[in-house]
Amino acid sequence: MRNDDVSAKPLKTCVLCGKPAQEKFRPFCSKRCADIDLHRWFSGAYAIPASEDPEDEDVNNAEDA
């Protein structure tokens, strides 16, 4: 048996629950996990925290004056 055999291909797992991912819902295992992930995006759970640059604040304050 060769190492590059198709049957030796590692199984992908669902990014939420760890079950084997199904091709139809990749990278998820089901529509349920896909919907949970979508809800997290819509609700802002995956938001990237940002900090304002002090230089940007100075420019915005100068424009307001």
Asked if 21 and 29 count as a contact pair (C-beta separation under 8 A), the reply is yes
Counted domains in the chain: 1
First-to-final CA distance of the chain: 75
Q: Is residue 50 part of a domain?
A: yes
Q: What is the CATH number of the domain that holds 59?
A: 3.30.50.10
Res. 65: pLDDT tops 50: yes
pLDDT in tens, 1-55: 455 555 555 579 999 999 999 999 999 999 999 999 999 999 988 888 888 777 7
Rounded Cα distance, 34 and 31, in Å? 5
pLDDT in the model for residue 41: 93
Q: Is residue 14 part of a domain?
A: yes
Domain containing 46 equals: 6-64
Q: Is residue 46 part of a domain?
A: yes
Q: Is residue 1 part of a domain?
A: no
